[in-house]
Amino acid sequence: MDWLTEVLASQPGCTLVFRRPGGVRGIITANPANVEHILRAGFDNFPKGPRFASLLHDFLGRGIFNADGEAWRSQRKAASYEFNTRSLRVFVAQSVHSEVHGRLIPLLRRAVSSGQPIDIQDTLERYAFDNICRVAFDHDPGQLPDGDGDGDIDGASLEATARSRFADAFRDAANLSAGRFQYAVPGFWKIKKAFNLGSERRLRESIAIVHGYADRIIRSRREEMSMGCEKHDLLSRFMASQSESYTETALRDVVISFLLAGRETTSSALTWFFWLLSSRPDVERRIRDEVAAVRARRARADLGNAGFDLDELREMHYVHAAVTESMRLYPPVPFNTLNTQAADVLPDGTAVGAGWFVAYSSYAMGRMESVWGEDAPAYRPERWLDPAEGTFRPESPFRYVAFHAGPRICLGKEMAYIQMKSIVACVLEEFELVVNRKYRPRQVASLTLRMADGLPVRVKARGN
Report the interface residues with ligand HEM, using CB under 6 A: 64-65, 76, 257-258, 261-262, 265-266, 269, 332-333, 336, 402-404, 408, 410-412, 415-416
- 3-state SS, residue 301: coil
State how far the Cα of 420 lies from the Cα of 325, in Å rounded to an integer: 13
Nearest to 41 by CA among 410, 411, 409, 407: 407
In the complex, the smallest distance separating the C-beta of residue 408 from ligand HEM, rounded to whole angstroms, is 4
Q: Based on the number of CB atoms within 10 Å of its own CB, is 74 exposed (0-12), middle (13-18) or buried (19 or more)? A: middle
Nearer to ligand HEM, 126 or 408 (CB): 408
Residue of closest CB approach to ligand HEM: 412
In the complex, the smallest distance separating the C-beta of residue 111 from ligand HEM, rounded to whole angstroms, is 24
DSSP 8-state assignment for residue 139: -
Pairing of strands 118-119, 344-345: unpaired
Nearer to ligand HEM, 292 or 409 (CB): 409
In the complex, the smallest distance separating the C-beta of residue 407 from ligand HEM, rounded to whole angstroms, is 7
Strands (E), 25-68: 25-29
In the complex, the smallest distance separating the C-beta of residue 260 from ligand HEM, rounded to whole angstroms, is 9
Side-chain half-sphere of 306: how many Cα atoms within 13 Å? 13
State how far the Cα of 386 lies from the Cα of 317, in Å rounded to an integer: 10
Query: DSSP for 370-422?
Result: HHH-TTTTS--GGGGB-TTT--B-PPPTTTS-TT--GGG--TTHHHHHHHHHH
Nearer to ligand HEM, 307 or 366 (CB): 366
> What angle, 0 to 180 degrees and rounded to 10, lies between the N-to-C axes of helices 317-329 and 265-277?
100
Nearer to ligand HEM, 255 or 385 (CB): 255
In the complex, the smallest distance separating the C-beta of residue 223 from ligand HEM, rounded to whole angstroms, is 25
Nearer to ligand HEM, 258 or 356 (CB): 258
Nearer to ligand HEM, 153 or 266 (CB): 266
Q: Which residues contact 275 (CB under 8 A, 6 or more apart)?
A: 435, 441, 451, 455
In the complex, the smallest distance separating the C-beta of residue 435 from ligand HEM, rounded to whole angstroms, is 21
In the complex, the smallest distance separating the C-beta of residue 204 from ligand HEM, rounded to whole angstroms, is 24
**Distance, C-alpha 403 to centroid of its chain:** 9
Computed on alpha carbons and rounded to an integer, the radius of gyration of the chain in Å comes to 22
In the complex, the smallest distance separating the C-beta of residue 49 from ligand HEM, rounded to whole angstroms, is 11
Nearer to ligand HEM, 103 or 404 (CB): 404
Nearer to ligand HEM, 287 or 405 (CB): 405
Please give the helix or strand (H or E) that residue 150 lies within, else none.
none
